[in-house]
A and B are shown apart, each in its own frame.
Chain A
Amino acid sequence: AQSVTQLGSHVSVSEGALVLLRCNYSSSVPPYLFWYVQYPNQGLQLLLKYTSAATLVKGINGFEAEFKKSETSFHLTKPSAHMSDAAEYFCAVSDDTGRRALTFGSGTRLQVQP
């Protein structure tokens, strides 16, 4: 069975500060990992994904994430936060066995203070 844990349901940063959103996964097979962003009253939009190629993955809007197998982590970072980054962020895992749907973490709401 797969699972995802996102540490911190709410994260607040100042504009221009580093953004770090934490995600740890559990999977019995090599995982595929995703970060999605959800703006108010919108669906989910893919930020980036890890599919067993490069461990450092770059996504849209200046976000990146690093897959660390030894730590079972896939933390999301951005060097400098913008006001427009305020949203809810979801980490998700899937694989090619059994159910091929995404299993999501509980989400982290990012606030950006001016």
Chain B
Amino acid sequence: GAGVSQSPSNKVTEKGKDVELRCDPISGHTALYWYRQSLGQGLEFLIYFQGNSAPDKSGLPSDRFSAERTGGSVSTLTIQRTQQEDSAVYLCASSLSGAGNTEAFFGQGTRLTVV
């Protein structure tokens, strides 16, 4: 596609429910990142996928969070047993390579509200 696509754009869920957030990166981009943007915490790195390498999960805040990337393309971020503090905008980004100097292209994000 022309840009990074995220769905849904908005999600309201009840505390304790599981949610799945989807990211469709730019075609041909080997690197994919998930970030979380919340008031008071700014933009936090969550997880990084690069090609077929094992993902860097060092930013995931708890074991309730997991992500996978199928076929080197689409990625799904799953949050189990959601809590109110999980409310945030979840941003996905992709880049052509995993090199530190390459531009990351961001999707418009999924706004998650846990009630």
Contact = CB atoms under 8 A, between A and B. Distances in A.
Contacts of B91: 43-44
B108 A95 contact: no
Interface in A11-54: 32, 34, 36, 41-46, 49, 51-52
Nearest to A41: B108
Interface in B87-103: 91, 93, 98-101, 103
Interface in A70-107: 90, 94-97, 99-107
A94 B100 contact: yes
Interface residues of B, number: 25
B103 A46 contact: yes
Given A100-B98, A105-B42, A43 B103 contact: no
A96 B100 contact: yes
Nearest to A44: B106
Contacts of B100: 32, 94-97, 100
A101 B109 contact: no
B50 interface: yes
A95 B31 CA distance: 15
B45 A96 contact: no
Contact of A102 (B58, B99, B104, B108): B104
B33 A42 contact: no
Residue among B43, B48, B56, B93 having the largest count of chain A Cβ atoms under 10 Å: B43
Contacts of A103: 45
B45 A45 contact: no
Given A100-B31, A100-B50, 9 more contacts: A34-B103, A43-B106, A44-B106, A46-B104, A90-B43, A94-B100, A100-B98, A101-B59, A102-B33
22 contacts: A34-B103, A36-B106, A43-B91, A44-B93, A44-B106, A45-B106, A46-B103, A46-B105, A49-B101, A51-B101, A99-B56, A99-B58, A100-B31, A100-B98, A100-B100, A101-B45, A101-B48, A102-B43, A102-B45, A102-B104, A104-B43, A105-B42
